Chain A
Amino acid sequence: MIKTIAKPVKRCVTGCGECRSTCQSACKTSCTVGNQSCERVTREEKIEKRK
C-alpha cells in the first residue's frame, strides 16, 4: 500500500519575488525555504475561492 499524502499542485519556476525573504520570517540563522508557501499561488487560490 502506498498512499499519496501530498504532491505539488503546480511546479513553477517563476522567481517573481513576491514571497517574503526567508531570513525575515523568524529564524535569522536556520532558514528553511520549503516551509514557505508561494504567495502568488496562495493569493490566486484565495481570489479563485471568492469567485
Chain B
Amino acid sequence: MRERTRLLLLLGPAVALVGGLVLGALGLALLRSLRLLPLEEPGLSAYASVLASPGVLASLALSFWIATVSTLIAAGLALAAAMLLRQAFPGRRLVAVLVQLNLTIPHVVGAIGILYLISQSGSFARLAHAAGLIAAPGEFPALTHDPWAIGIILTYVWKEVPFITLILLAKLQTLGPDLGPVARSLGATRWQAFRFVLLPQLLPALAAGAALVFAFAFGAYEVPLVLGAHAPEALPLRAWRSFTDVDLAARPEAFAISILIAALGAGLLALHARLILPRRGRDAG
C-alpha cells in the first residue's frame, strides 16, 4: 500500500498534466469534430466534408511522403552516426557534440535557416551566381516550396538525426562494448557481427525513435508553413486554415483533421507497441 501511494505521488503530476491538458484538449477536439455542441447538429458531417474536400488526398499523401522519407533517411543516417561514434577515434568527442548540437535548436529556426541557405535567392544560389553557374535566381533548382518537399524533408533529417542518434547511443551504452568483439572472435565477419548481433539489439530503440519522428513529422505545422508549396498543403496546415476560415462553420472540419492526425499517430505507436515491444522483452531482456 505504501509503495502504491508513493507511486501515485510520483506519477501524479505527470498524469495530471497529460490527462488534464492533453487528453482534455483531445476530448474537446473530438466533441467539436462530432459537432457535439449546443446549436449544432451532431454527426459525422465534418469528417465527411473533410474527406470529400478537394485536394485532401493529395494533402494526406504529401504528409505521408514527408514523414516516411524524413524518417527513413534520418534513421539510416542516425544508425551510421551511432555506429561511428561508438568507436574510438581522435576528435570523437568534438564530432559527438557537433552531431548533437542542433537538438537544442527549435524546428522553426532550422526551417528558416534552411530557407536562407537553399532557396532560389538563398546563400547557395548567391554563391552559384558569384561563381557564374547561374545568371538569375530562377535558374537555381527549386529546393524550397517545391512539389517534392525537399526543403521540409531536409529540415526534418537535419533535426531528427541527432535525436535518433542519441537514443541509439544510450542503448549502445547499456549493451556494452563486448558484443561485437565476441561475435568477431567466434568467426563472424564485421557485417555479420553488425547484422545478426548488434542490429537486432538496436532495433527496438531504432523503431521507437523512428515512430516518434514519423508521428512528429506527420503532425507538425511550422516546417511546412515556412518551406511548403501553396498546394498541396500538409495536413496540419489544412487544419489550421479550416480553423481560421472566415466561414465559422468550417471549424469542426479543423478538429476532424486534427483528430485524424492524432489517430494516425496513436495507431502508429500502438503498432510499435504490438510488434516491437514484445520482441524487446525476448531479445534484449
A, B in one complex: no
